Structure formats: structure tokens, C-alpha cells
Amino acid sequence: MRPATVSTSSWTPSDLGSSPARACSTSAAAEDGWRASSPQVGELVCADISEVMLAEARRALTGSTNVSFVRTRGLELENMEGEFFDVLYAHDVFVTFDPNPLLALLDEGRRVLRPGGAFVASFYTIDRPAWAEAQLSLVRRGRRWGEFGASYPRPYTAGQIDALFDAAGLTVADRRYGPYEEGSSSRAHYVVAGERSA
């Protein structure tokens, strides 16, 4: 498997070294990734818990005949067959998840992947000094405000993410750090490609 190209907003199936027959993307916020992926796969299923996000994806992918849209309920990819997808993408989906819901979703992703299929996901980590400083700045603001809401990124270390993939039965085939741009309002990602074994 070729590694996933690290990007803060997009990736394509060809980055994995093949053109999957069936792909699933679990975040309508990753609209650019869907546009890039749609022509490279036989079938693309766009899944999200938000009808608003799915509506945006429908507009962005108008004219794509190989795309379907599915609304999900949180921690399950209900109505999706087991061992169905060649690749599952989750960009910016897990950045606010605590470990237990994250593990549950990795496990659910494994269920819908065919043996040899890849789960490609992005995370925020505190493994790099600039990233640790960005997270520290964020939590200092939260401390002053007296709250840490659900939208606060959960910082992991690469080792924790690898261990969660392993616990879910996904072998980490590749991992990459995205570039950190000083002064950028967006954070770089740690992108992991985990493979489902037979």
C-alpha cells in the first residue's frame, strides 16, 4: 500500500496505490476530498450525521453519477454491509473524540472494510513542538473561560493513535505528519492508514 498524501483538506484514492472499487468518506466537511475522489473510484458513498453537510456534498458533487449519500447515527455505520468498502476516509472526523468513542468508530470502520481494505484518518497530535504549543495556547484560553467544550480538539500522541488502530484490528500501514505553517489558522494533521487484515 502506498502512503496517503498528507493534506489538511484533501486526499485521493490513488494515494493508496490503487483505484478502489468502493470508497466511503465519513465527513461532508471534506468536500474537496470527495470531488477529487469521485472520478477515481467505482462507487463513492458519502456518509455524515448532518443532513446539512450531506446537502452541501450533494451540491458539490452534482453531476457525479457514482456517488450516493447516507445519513448515519453517530457511532454506527448502520445499513452498510460488512466487508464492503476498499477504503474508508475520515478527515477531521476524530479530532474532537475521546478515546472510547474513537475506538468504537475505528472498530465500526473495520467492520465495513473488506480484508486488505484501508482506513485513512486524520488526527491532531501533540508530538511536534509547534503542535504542542498550539494545543497549550488553546487550553489556556479554555481555562480562562472556565470551559472546555465538545469542539475542543483532543490531542493524542502518535503512539496512542497507533495503539487504538491496533486494538480495533487495523494494522498501521503508513503514517505521515502534515506540514505545520507558522501563523496558519489551521492545524496540520497526523494522517494514518490502517489496513484490515484477513
What is the distance between the alpha carbons of residues 126 and 133, in angstroms, rounded to a whole number?
Answer: 8
| Number of domains observed in the structure of the chain | 1
For residue 3, tell me if it sits in a domain: no
Quote the pLDDT of residue 170. Answer: 97
- Write the CATH number for 116: 3.40.50.150
For residue 6, tell me if it sits in a domain: no
Percent of the chain whose predicted confidence (pLDDT) is above 90: 22
Quote the pLDDT of residue 172. Answer: 95
Cβ burial, residue 179 (10 Å; 0-12/13-18/19+):
exposed
Angle (CA) 163 174 155, round 5°: 50
Quote the pLDDT of residue 10. Answer: 41
pLDDT digits (tens, 9 = 90+) for 102-142: 999 999 999 999 999 999 888 888 888 888 888 898 899 88
Quote the pLDDT of residue 32. Answer: 55
For residue 2, tell me if it sits in a domain: no
pLDDT digits (tens, 9 = 90+) for 7-25: 333 445 555 555 567 777 7
Residues 6+ apart with CB under 8 A from 155: 124, 125, 126, 131, 132, 135
Cβ burial, residue 8 (10 Å; 0-12/13-18/19+):
middle
Domain range for residue 18? 13-196
